[in-house]
Amino acid sequence: MTFQYLRDPSGRPAWDGVLPGRPEPFFLDRGEGEHANLFGDLFTLLLSGAETQGQFGVFTSTCPSGDIIPTHSHAGTHEVFYVLDGAVRLFVQDESGRQRTRVLRTGDFGFVPAGLPHAYRVEEAAQLLGVVSGGFERFPQRMGTPTDHAGAQPPYVPPIPDLLAAARELDVELLPGFGWDGV
């Protein structure tokens, strides 16, 4: 159960309007941005396609140890994983079907081009910085739930129909049962 909207009768999160929504300059202090919970992760959107003429979006995610993002792909979205803190094992399958994996630690970098199956598992509590093709960056809000809290919170597990609807909307293909036998 979430109470974050009780403060504002309009039901809008307090961060609404923090991003300008058009290409104009702005600054954010550490932790500021549009927050959303999805499973065990706290996502904070720093920049959206609305500010970059659709080119790219930027967000951070704070992830507990043991967290798993299951295998999926997104046909139109390139995705960057830059580790700000902690350790994350990234899995990706390239176009030839070759599977690769690497544990990424602070300062390490991974790139997953559009359309390739990928997943990750948080090996040590981590903070990631993500860069994605413009338009995809609000997936945590669409799949998860907005929140005004930047701190640790209980996991938010979306109802399956909501998750599937968000995946269709975002052109995300969920790949349950996908095997990582090659790594």
User: How far is it, in rounded angstroms, from Cα 21 to Cα 6?
Assistant: 25
Sole binder of a second copy in the list 17, 65, 109, 157 (CB under 8 A): 109
Q: Binding to a second copy by residue 120, rule CB under 8 A?
A: no
CB-based burial, 63-77: b 16+ in 10 Å, e otherwise: bbeebebebbbbeeb
Cα dihedral sign, 121-132-20-170: negative
Q: Taking CB under 8 A as the criterion, which residues in 69-88 touch a second copy?
A: 78, 80, 82, 84
Q: Which two tokens stand for residue 122?
A: 């948080």
Three-state secondary structure of 66-109:
CCEEEEEEECCCCEEEEEEEEEEEEEEECCCCCEEEEEEECCCE
| Closer residue to a second copy (CB): 125 or 164 | 125
Single out the residue of 127, 159, 128 nearest to residue 145, CA to CA: 159
Shortest spacing between CB 99 and a second copy, in angstroms? 10
Which CB, 105 or 149, lies closer to a second copy? Answer: 105
Q: Which of 16, 106, 155, 179 binds a second copy (CB under 8 A)?
A: 106
**Does 152 help bind a second copy (rule: CB under 8 A)?**
no
List the interface residues with a second copy, window 122-151 (CB under 8 A). 129, 131, 133-134
Quick check: 173 binds a second copy (CB under 8 A)? no
Which of positions 1-60 make contact with a second copy (CB under 8 A)?
Answer: 23-33, 46-47, 51-53, 55-56, 58
Count Cβ atoms within 10 A of the Cβ of residue 9 and give its class: 0-12 exposed, 13-18 middle, 19 or more buried: exposed
Site residues, a second copy (CB under 8 A)? 23-33, 46-47, 51-53, 55-56, 58, 78, 80, 82, 84, 90, 92, 94-95, 100, 102, 104-114, 116, 118, 129, 131, 133-134
